[in-house]
A and B are shown apart, each in its own frame.
Chain A
């Protein structure tokens, strides 16, 4: 499903060069629920951004669904991201000036083939799936942290992507809320067969996934 080969990421400034990822080789199978752990600054989010095509590796190659992504131009890359990948962020990244429903519709705005009424239907179904159909007209600032993360999950799944990349989805939530979010992710993985890669600091959450990858100083250690 996702294949990373010899991934290296170097951040350069005028005075300093930082090696964020060093020779990462990783294969994520279809339908797998993988977690990535490691201390802060070890390159977890960088790795997730590279998997999500939000960042480019300095060296190495990425394949998703047997397609090499390295040579994709912006338009093709964006379309690919829109069709195949859903994102969940630790700080939700919802647009506060849009209602819950409009936030969830966002990925579908960039699919010309989806009409306005289809967008509405798909967004409503996604919100029902995360148990927030009664909050559609609300704005993100009117919701609790857990509810916001559920909106973010609905936004990630509305376009029916085969991969979900979650960057510390429970990091800002208490344990109860964190469990709720984890259950939703587990359900998506089990019932829809969605491949999920999750970055987490929480050992308990990581144990609930199929496989754990550990990073340290940009290198894969387990």
Chain B
């Protein structure tokens, strides 16, 4: 019977070409959307390694270019912070805080070892208590750890694996001049959004004038406290600019940079699928209307209703298999050529989802017209010319 279906489809290849093309395009788009979704969901499910509950990011601008004045202001700021019992912990750093808009990056490696592109974060020794950072190996640096020209640094597990592989990185040096000594390895640290993959981050001690900071506040603090806190900081010096942001809002903003386009992609893909479904329905209904005579002949020759049903669904499945086969040829190139440096299993899952969805859609679309064909009365079908 399969051979019979192949013959019919081959003979009608010109009229079937557009259906095949439609299924092929739908497969490619579904593969792309499914692979992208799989990639993002997998990233999302990786722990970020940062606890931002009740954490504020406070950007302070002293509006001064004098380093010595900025350092004095920093001391005044810290003294003021210590007066608030609602501020449970705070950490000063450069403005490259997690989920912020500033970031710095570059290649870092060790002598005789590969380099890896990583982000640089400069933050003081209190960061683990504010951000709930957990180390997989070693310990967090202290402000007093810097000896001579050697700077203690903490790196991410990803960076450790890329540079040191299975070697113990603790005590090893980074950079061409061996000035950065690894003292700790963070298990996870996703500083940009939940949808980013684990990447390299190099964290070094913050030693400049204290300006911007992150603070963990008491969960009970209210909006009034936030206003009062901002006011009291401004009272230190009226020239200071203070911006208090809830780090969870910053993270939500960063996440929305993925979720909004992804939602748009899903909506467009949904429309496309609806179009494909309507197109298939239309083509099949027309096809069956055109082939009523053939249905009558088959019934006269001994085909049962279920033969007719399976014949038309089978034809569509064979067509879909051709289109999917062509789509697979292109889709399989992605894992084979390691396009975008994404795990192969992400693409394979994308392929699987696209195949299952396409076959399900084809069966759903073929079912109703085929069912209608199977219930066609043979005498009536044969009577029509």
- Name A's B-contacting residues (CB within 8 A): 45-46, 49, 52, 54-55, 74-75, 78-79, 81-83, 87, 89, 91, 93-95, 97-99, 102, 106-107, 109-111, 116, 155, 159
**Assembly CA distance A107 to B307 (angstroms):** 12
Is B303 located at the chain interface by the 8 A CB criterion? yes
16 contacts between A and B (CB under 8 A): A54-B300, A55-B377, A55-B378, A78-B299, A78-B302, A78-B304, A87-B300, A91-B385, A93-B293, A97-B12, A102-B7, A106-B297, A106-B298, A107-B301, A107-B302, A110-B303
A109 contacts which chain B residues (CB < 8 A)? 1, 4, 301
Known A-B contacts: A98-B11, A106-B297. Give 17 more (CB < 8 A). A54-B299, A55-B379, A75-B304, A78-B303, A78-B304, A79-B302, A79-B304, A82-B301, A91-B385, A93-B296, A93-B300, A97-B11, A97-B12, A106-B298, A110-B298, A110-B301, A110-B307
Q: How far is the CB of A73 from chain B (nearest CB, A)?
A: 9
**Assembly CA distance A102 to B6 (angstroms):** 12
A97-B296 contact in complex given A106-B301, A110-B303, C-beta closer than 8 Å = no
Q: How far is the CB of B9 from chain A (nearest CB, A)?
A: 9
CB-contact partner of A54 in B4, B306, B378, under 8 A:
B378
**Assembly CA distance A83 to B302 (angstroms):** 8
CB-contact partner of A82 in B7, B302, B379, B383, under 8 A:
B302
Closest to A93 in B: B297
CB-contact partner of B8 in A46, A81, A97, A111, under 8 A:
A97
B3 contacts which chain A residues (CB < 8 A)? 116
Is B343 located at the chain interface by the 8 A CB criterion? no
**Assembly CA distance A110 to B308 (angstroms):** 11
A102 contacts which chain B residues (CB < 8 A)? 4, 7
B301 & A54 in contact (Cβ 8 Å cutoff) = no
Q: How far is the CB of A185 from chain B (nearest CB, A)?
A: 18
B297 & A95 in contact (Cβ 8 Å cutoff) = yes
B297 contacts which chain A residues (CB < 8 A)? 93-95, 106
**Assembly CA distance A110 to B1 (angstroms):** 9
Is B382 located at the chain interface by the 8 A CB criterion? yes
Q: How far is the CB of A20 from chain B (nearest CB, A)?
A: 11
CB-contact partner of B294 in A79, A91, A95, A159, under 8 A:
A95
B298 contacts which chain A residues (CB < 8 A)? 106, 110
**Assembly CA distance A81 to B12 (angstroms):** 29
**Assembly CA distance A93 to B12 (angstroms):** 18
Most buried by B among A91, A95, A99, A116: A95
Is B305 located at the chain interface by the 8 A CB criterion? yes
B303 contacts which chain A residues (CB < 8 A)? 78, 110
